[in-house]
Amino acid sequence: IAGITQAPTSQILAAGRRMTLRCTQDMRHNAMYWYRQDLGLGLRLIHYSNTAGTTGKGEVPDGYSVSRANTDDFPLTLASAVPSQTSVYFCASSPVGTGGGDEQFFGPGTRLTVL
């Protein structure tokens, strides 16, 4: 099935715990992104990758890390979760990354609660 998958769908996590959110796409897109979406705020970019083997920081990278070992996978890790990281996390991909009209395709999201 073409598209982007994310896992888990939702998670409740104790503060201080380590957590990895998984993201896989099968569209052979070069670029991938991680966003968080909080009520009343727009989507905010956490990290991105324009191609396998490279990553970059977005608007709100602190407390998060990513890796891009291959084209398909782009995991997001919270090294030591804090309550302010409670959010809905969306993974997205796009064919090029640096193109103007490069549409982003989104995964279904992961709802994370940190207590």
Instruction: Using CB under 8 A, list all residues that contact another protein.
Output: 40-45, 48, 58, 90, 97-109
Shortest gap between Cβ of 43 and another protein (angstroms)?
4
User: Letter for the amino acid at 90?
Assistant: F
Closer to another protein at the Cβ: 18 or 59? Answer: 59
Shortest gap between Cβ of 7 and another protein (angstroms)?
14
Contacts of residue 24, defined as CB under 8 A and 6 or more positions apart, other chains included, come to 4, 5, 72, 73, 74
- What does the alpha-carbon distance between residue 114 and residue 11 come to, in Å, rounded to a whole number? 8
Closer to another protein at the Cβ: 73 or 106? Answer: 106
Closer to another protein at the Cβ: 67 or 104? Answer: 104
Q: Within 10 A of 4 (CB to CB), how many other CB atoms are there?
A: 22
Closer to another protein at the Cβ: 79 or 103? Answer: 103
Shortest gap between Cβ of 108 and another protein (angstroms)?
5
- The answer to whether the beta carbons of residues 34 and 48 sit under 8 Å apart is yes
